[in-house]
Structure 1
Amino acid sequence: MDKSRFSMLLLEPGEIYFEDYSCVFKDSESLNEGDSRQGRLKLCSKSLVFEPREWAHPLIKLHFRDCVNISVVHPQTTESPQNVIMIEIKQYAEMLEENILAPYKFKYEKRTFYIFFDFASADETVSQMHQLQRASSLNAPEHNSMVATILHSRYMRMVFDPVMMDDFTEEIVCELQAEKISPLVRHQGKLALTPTTLYFQPFSNVESGLEIYSAEDSAVAHIYLTFQSEDDRDRIYDILEQSSSVHLEKIHAQETTLQWQNGIVSNYDYLMHLNCLADRSKNDLTQYPVFPWVISDYTSSDLDLDNVDVFRDLSKPMGALNPDRLEKLKERYYEMSDPKFMYGSHYSAPGLVLFYLVRKYPEYMLCLQNGRFDHPDRMFNSVKDVYNNCLRNMSDFKELVPEFYDTNAKGDFLVNKYQINFGDRHDGTKVNNVALPPWADSPENFVIKLRKALESEYVSRHLHLWIDLIFGYKQRGEEAIKANNVFHHVCYEGAVDLDDIYDMNDRHALEVQIMEFGQVPKQLFVRPHVRRVTHQIPKALQGDLEENGAVYRIECTHSIQLHKEEVTWALRQGSRVISVGKDGTLKVYDTILKKQIRSVILSATPLSSCVIMDENIVAAGSWDNEIYLYDVDYGRVVESFRAHDDCVSCLLWLDKERLLISGGYDGVVRVWGNAGRTGQALRGLRAEFDHDEKICAITYKRGRHDIDIIAGTSDGEVVVWSLAARAPRHKVAVHSGAVAALCFVGGGHRVASVGADGALSVTDLSVCDSVYHKQLSERAAALCWEGARVLWLGGRGGALLQWDALRAEQAARQPAHHDVINSVYYDEATNTLVTASKDKTVKVWKLISSS
């Protein structure tokens, strides 16, 4: 295998990887004798790491501090090998033998190793090693200073390599020294910014920060950079913000808070949002996102989320949940001299994060603890035991990490999936998977139930109290004292100005203490946080016209009556309005000419829906189980094919993938790849998804590597299918009656739906639960999202309802038709709505912003 086993995680946290060399590693001076291994030698700031080519052999790590002698071996004869160095060492470590992740093997014995370089100069490499060996003999602050000097010297000599660029003629707008951050690892290098691309070139040939999240279809989704100064960071940000090639999404904290308050944003998403605002990132274990314990019952066989007694008191920090322990902590607090603290350990620190995640990221723990795992009895062995310890232990107050609520990962952090030998506990049992509470039958089930608890009514009503403690006004000062929420002063942002500490030893000691102890998040709120409104809004919507909060005024520009029976679907393309109806006809109306330009009877049975496939091709679904393809320009049917065993109820066209998706009353969703190629449609069946009930509506979500097809059924379920895997992701019972219409709203994982039960529901598919459910003043039969803020609902009484997703309320009600509105279509190009009704008319509405 060609893939390297070497990782920066094999180094000490913060250690720098400078160079690597092709070489032969031996324990004999002669190339023809002894154990000879071909591989690569990594030159790092505190050690040398040899990576053999053969995976059966372990990597060997030689610390400079343990080296007795590093010297060039001068050839005895002209036939003797050239470019050889000798390393005498007191002890060394072996790692990843047979490529098995396990604690390092420390060899406490004197050895002499010889390195035969294939290309590098032995004299030059030994000179660099001697420099780093001298640095290793210094205390930590002086060592760091010397390595920083070496690093800066390398940076000044480094030239950005244009081979990295997509186009070597690109002009470099800005070039700076930077570090790319990942957990426990800092990749030093050079950042280059061109008018179109951001490049990072590491110093090796293989914390004023800037975190960049890319669009979903980007090759690199996320990068976390830190610069030498805030000025450098701000300079890069300003260039990115002003670049025409960059479109930065503006996220307003108050807007997101309002969306969360009104149930549009889930509790999970909102906590992730707050962590991000507070500079918490999964790339930085010292400031990892923090989540609360919300469940206190880990002994019952069933988890009853309707029972408030199963929840933790979110108004108190973990250290204050046990009154007896709190009294002892307060006694100690009042006896202290200033600066006082109540808790001698933190709720989030690198060691605590990896305590939870060691099974998922064992290499991080080995890096953090110098090649060793924790004692078996001190590991995360049981959820119940950990929670009880957090309630009783005088030095354990930790909260949770997002992985406890991440349903996508299915609780993988609870499983020893790498089958690592973590050792035996005091009772002889091996450390393996985490023991779950009786109410969870699997890690996935455990996480799903915790996620439902996080999104529950009780937590939604009380989560603002926990936010006050962690991110808000009770985080520090007098309010923190009143709330028994006081930690060691060095963990608060701004409590210690390191720039004012000139003694290198004192500064280093504080830096280590801050990193290892944990850091309180950046304070986001100085007043009590708003509470979330309950899902059941007590007062009903009143009034026939509620225009005061309208986002848009609407004006009818065309009223079209061409069909002899009710119109089932209508859409717009440019100046054309295309509609189908129960009379089996497809009509095309030109809004400029103000007249009908096409009319064709496609079927003797009603037509249910239509989509634009190409500029001129319209696909229409029929009650006779057929899909008809009609060419508007030539005025003829180019193909028809039997798509279902019962009527075709809904259609969807994915232009980017060239896929036609159909839903039928036979309970099947089918994906067609060759629709539009005459006679090829049936051969192009790409996938079919079976359901227990009729398909009433379909929509989709395009992700980074996959497309989700979402179907609404006649029994009120919303079912999510992965197109790539041809398998179901989620199934959620949303409505008590048939799903009438559905669409994605606001991006992310949220889908809005209306049903025969008269409700509007917003379902978070990552939670598999409704985050908003509202009985409408009148039942809706149609639904569409305008792409920014407004949901448009077509009422069964003929009214067009404007629903403000930001405020989670009906903003306006406009009488539009004399009967049921069967479809509402938003055309972004013209900023118009097209409505189709049972009253046989199609109407076009111009949207006019009210602001």
Structure 2
Amino acid sequence: MAKASLARDVAAVARGETLSCLWEREDRGGHFDLADRMFNSVREAWLSASKHNMADVKELIPEFFYLPEFLVNSNNFELGCKQNGVQLGDIVLPPWAKGDPREFIRVHRMALECDYVSQHIHEWIDLIFGYKQYGPPAVDATNVFHHLFYEGNVDIYNIDDPLKKNATIGFINNFGQIPKQLFKKPHPAKKISQRSSVVDPGPITPGLSFTTGDRLFFHNLDNLRPSLQPIKELKGPVGQIMQSDKSVLAVEQNKVLVPPTFNKYVAWGFADHSLRIGLYDSDKAILVCEAIMQSNGEIVTCVCPSVKLIITAGTSSVVTIWEYVRKQLNIKQSLYGHTDAVTCLACSPAYNVVVSGSRDATAIVWDLSRRIFVRQLRGHTAPIAAVAINELTGDIATCAGTWLHLWSINGEELASVNTCVGRADRMQQILCVAFSQIQEWDSQNVVMTGSTDGVVRMWSVDYVQVPKEDRQVVKEGVDTKENGVRNLVKQISISADFPGKDTASLVKSGSESSLSEDEGETTTEVESTQEEKIEGKKEIERAQEEKEMCSDEDTNQVNVHIL
């Protein structure tokens, strides 16, 4: 049975910068706990709690299901050395995680959502909050603890002896407290309907399935068909599409809808360089602000995180946060970081961040609450045309030229792929990008891109294990060695593409691409069977050079295929 304990929770996530400070300064008098008592290995923690030490009680805090960063000592904190000589650093993961914290979190979350857990969740409720918390049922279930752990057994405010009072408080803080009992009778089991599995039956993800009614569009790519009639007709090119309840809303270019009701829009790009707010139904402007050009240049892009905040950016390279109160627009903060015009913006209210993409080939993550710079995403080979943020996972997608990049919210590049197909002189540029984000643990989620060739493509991110061995890379006639290849290969492969109404069917180029990550560096391998791609323009060759593209002599390659 788990007991709520601040000390145990903070100890588990002590590798995070903020919580490490809390642990070091407040809980341990200026230093970390003894190395032998620190959380260091998933296997050792499991064996200690389940077999070797029955007095050891562990709690799976929420970070185990969504935050891979807490498993990595990215700040290189001095956590100490154990008695057996092992220096503490990153958490030692089980073999099925393939040495990758994100894979550990992904599979762990999938296990949490599986049918087996749903069928037995009532047993856990009985132990933690139910009838097995007290009395003979608790004794039969080996679920008893020290009397100080139970709510109401001690009143610390009535302890007169200060030494005894402090000792009691410290005892509870370090070893935890039993939650309040909510149920006196056995909790009923969850009803599990007949399910049909829609995920690959891999050995590390058995039993994960969804109901037939839960099947989503990316589970049925072969059945997707365009609508016979337009669902919305606009006066100009489409700028934003938004689903609200059971309807689909859309506005023209240089317009964005205002949440949460989406009955208003913000518009820009007028001859007088004004910023306007209008009604969605009547298209009538209710506010015109003409003071924009004076200090912020020409607006190129805009997002609305809330009904009171508007964020604009453009030719001045400055990201401006506006506050809309009492039918007036006032500048709340100007953010400086780009060296060229800002071309695109994306905002995540869930993570309270804004991402800006620029012609300087960088993207910047900004903290919306503190309105400060967080980090810069580099490595693009062209101006950034589109950015998107996954509201569930915090992952960030950036698009530059024909390249699609996927980043974690902490700036780690997870994968990248060149979406170019066909001849090199007919490359399609990516114009927009979006995430499917219904169930974050669903491995079949896709990243969708729209390109200048009128085709919508869906991309899936896969995790593939490759051997740990030296491999020979042949690049432009020069032999080089890549040592210490990491266990996990992250790749983006195409799931499906959907040509536009007036676009001819996509011709496969026979190209194959995969992405592999070595110790701190990502390499992309592309095999092409067409001479047109080999004889591409110099600009494309430079982009391929920066992405460290290599020939088909590398053995670890994954096809770009249509499912």
Common topology (TM > 0.5): no
Larger radius of gyration: 1
Shorter-chain TM-score tier:
0.3 to 0.5
For normalisation by structure 1, the TM-score amounts to 0.27
